[in-house]
Amino acid sequence: MQGFVAHLRLRYRYPMIILRAMVINDFKLRYQASVLGYLWTLLKPLAMFSVLYVVFIQLLKFGAAVPYNAIYLLFGIVIWAFFADASTQGLESLVQRADLLRKISFPRYVVVISVAMSALITFGLSMIVIVLFMALARVPLTLNILWLAPLFVELVVLSVSLGFILGALYVRYRDLSYIWEVVLQAGFYASPIIYPLSMVPEQWARFLLLNPMAQIIQDARYALITDQTVTITQAFGDPWVRMIPVGITLALGVASVVFFRRRSPYFAEEA
Amino acid sequence: MADAVIQVRSVSKDFLLPHLRHSTLKSRFIHLFRKRRVMEVQHTLRDVDFDIARGEFFGVIGRNGSGKSTLLKILAGIYPPTAGHVSVDGRLVPFIELGVGFNPELTGRENVYLNGALLGFSQREVDEMYEDIVSFAELDGFMDQKLKNYSSGMQVRIAFSVATRAKAEILLIDEVLAVGDTAFQRKCFDHFRTLKKAGVTIIFVTHDMDLVRKFCDRVILLEQTRLVAEGDADAVAHEYDMLFAAHS
């Protein structure tokens, strides 16, 4: 066992060193010329939340029946923001680092992982804001919170897989960034983020929940905020239906690794 | 060859280049909807064979576009060869360009750590060698300025200083010494001599025949994607000079 750990250490030493350097420098560079600097990582989701809060909760009275509907809304937005951030950055990552790819030989997956790590840091900071709000609103915690761990793993696998596939494709097909922008926009409205699922006809709600992002968001809200929400279990009356979106995620994960490994020798000359 | 650290066997490299030249707006518009982009095959290397022995100072020369840089990138594992096979025995560090990954918005210090990471050094390892790197570059007092405020000579010096730290058994150098003043260039070559004495194999791409004659043990000449001469430095450098004589 010790030999195995030492072997892994040696094998992933170089990738880990590069990964660390990339994530740290990305973070340093991101808010360089801005006055508020790192605070923007927190201010951005808060600002977006305020807009949606005023429009959907104050004016349109969406989700009035949902307990803690403001935090419920914010949590959904934060999860989606991570997904959008990681997948979009993943798409652009290889092309942005083309200069590096042409000059040194290192495992190409590091580039995609590094932007996912940056998105994960932002996600972590946003979660701090959510925890603060939850404490202020005295949201009771239950053991359901344990579900968050596997759900976040699913979220990361889904986002990073898409990052790998999109990133590898974008090297060749530069139209993809425009397409992905539209797909994300559609996905945002196809997921029950700003509207409660109860507004949607039942058969449509079921269909929507087969989308991994909808399943993750609803399950995560159920686990952290309130059990007064429609998850895939309630919609179908069977917890095993969850295996469909989870299966989609895992299949994407495997496909992304296979595809990325096959394409990666050619990134240097195509990017 | 008895003790070859690098073996190159019938290596060829083709690039597929999309044809994007459209003379008129109309043809551009028509081609927008054409399904297949016209691809042009560009042969960059054809059937190249050679060996490099351990501890050799090995020169690669040829005119612009002869395939030198492509060859170097194949040796470095950056491009896969289209055909043929390359085997490398030992830790190879490429300097296709000095200061890879340098970011103008970061300080000199931060860039040293970044560049060090790309060479495989952990933060702690760079901590240990940091003072030496700065004094070798003769840049004490500048390290907390942003790199964009450095002159290009200063950038090369700091980059080369980091590069000298690389633990390489085989070093690939692609004309990285084009910048930097005479004194610093001398310093670089002194460093290469030290490395050579320590048994490091050095592969050196250049246009400067004086450097070739002075340093290289053996040289290959590439001309229009093929290897056309291989041998000791004087003979091959002469062939290179003859290429230009024939055209003038």
Tens digit of pLDDT for each residue in A67-85?
888 889 889 999 999 999 9
User: CA A269, CA A251: separation in Å to the nearest integer?
Assistant: 29
For residue B14, the number of C-alpha atoms closer than 13 Å in the C-beta half-sphere is 9
Q: How far is A191 from chain B (nearest CA, A)?
A: 33
Tell me which chain B residues have a C-beta less than 8 angstroms from the C-beta of A21.
113-114, 117-118
Q: Is residue B94 less than 8 Å (CB to CB) from chain A?
A: yes
Residues of A contacting chain B (CB within 8 angstroms): 13-14, 17-18, 20-21, 25, 28-29, 32, 99-106, 265-266, 268-269
- In chain B, domain spans: 4-91+168-246, 100-166
pTM for this one?
0.89
CB contact under 8 A, B78 and A28: no
Nearest CA in chain B to A96: B101
**Which tokens go with A23?**
């994530």
Assign B113 to helix, strand or coil: helix
Stated as kind and residue range, the H or E segment containing A170 is: helix A148-170
Nearest to A21 among B77, B78, B113 (CB): B113
| Crossing angle for the helix pair A212-224 and A202-209, to the nearest 10 degrees | 100
Q: Is residue B53 less than 8 Å (CB to CB) from chain A?
A: no
Q: How far is A252 from chain B (nearest CA, A)?
A: 27
CB contact under 8 A, A18 and B94: no
Q: CB pairs below 8 Å between A and B: how many?
A: 60
Tell me which chain A residues have a C-beta less than 8 angstroms from the C-beta of B121.
17
**Which tokens go with A64?**
């009035």
ipTM of the complex: 0.84
Tell me the pLDDT of chain B (248 aa) as tens digits: 668 999 999 999 999 887 655 555 566 666 666 655 567 888 999 999 999 999 999 999 999 889 998 999 999 999 999 999 999 999 998 888 777 888 999 999 999 999 999 999 999 999 999 999 999 888 888 999 999 999 888 888 888 889 888 888 999 988 766 666 788 778 888 888 899 899 999 999 988 898 899 989 999 999 999 999 999 999 999 999 988 886 55
Nearest CA in chain B to A104: B78
Nearest to B105 among A29, A102, A104 (CB): A29
Domain B4-91+168-246 has CATH 3.40.50.170: no
CB contact under 8 A, A104 and B117: no
User: CA B6, CA B75: separation in Å to the nearest integer?
Assistant: 8
3-state SS string for chain A: CHHHHHHHHHHHHHHHHHHHHHHHHHHHHHCCCCCCCCHHHHHHHHHHHHHHHHHHHHHCCCCCCCCCHHHHHHHHHHHHHHHHHHHHHHHHHHHHCHHHHHHCCCCCHHHHHHHHHHHHHHHHHHHHHHHHHHHHHCCCCCHHHHHHHHHHHHHHHHHHHHHHHHHHHHCCCCCHHHHHHHHHHHHHHHCCCCCCHHHCCHHHHHHHHCCHHHHHHHHHHHHHCCCCCCCHHHHHCCHHHHHHHHHHHHHHHHHHHHHHHHHHHHHHHHC
User: CA A165, CA A41: separation in Å to the nearest integer?
Assistant: 26
Tell me the pLDDT of chain A (271 aa) as tens digits: 778 888 888 889 999 999 999 999 988 888 777 777 778 877 877 887 788 788 878 888 877 777 888 889 889 999 999 999 999 999 999 999 999 999 889 999 999 999 999 999 989 988 988 998 899 889 999 999 999 999 999 999 999 999 999 999 999 999 999 999 999 999 999 999 988 888 888 889 999 999 999 999 999 999 999 988 889 988 898 889 999 999 999 999 999 999 999 999 999 998 8
Task: Give the model confidence (pLDDT) of B50-78 as tens digits.
Answer: 999 999 999 999 998 899 989 999 999 99
CB B72, CB B222: distance < 8 Å:
no
Phi, psi of B136 (to 5 degrees): -60, -40
CB contact under 8 A, B73 and A268: yes
Nearest CA in chain B to A28: B106
Q: What is the DSSP letter of B130?
A: H
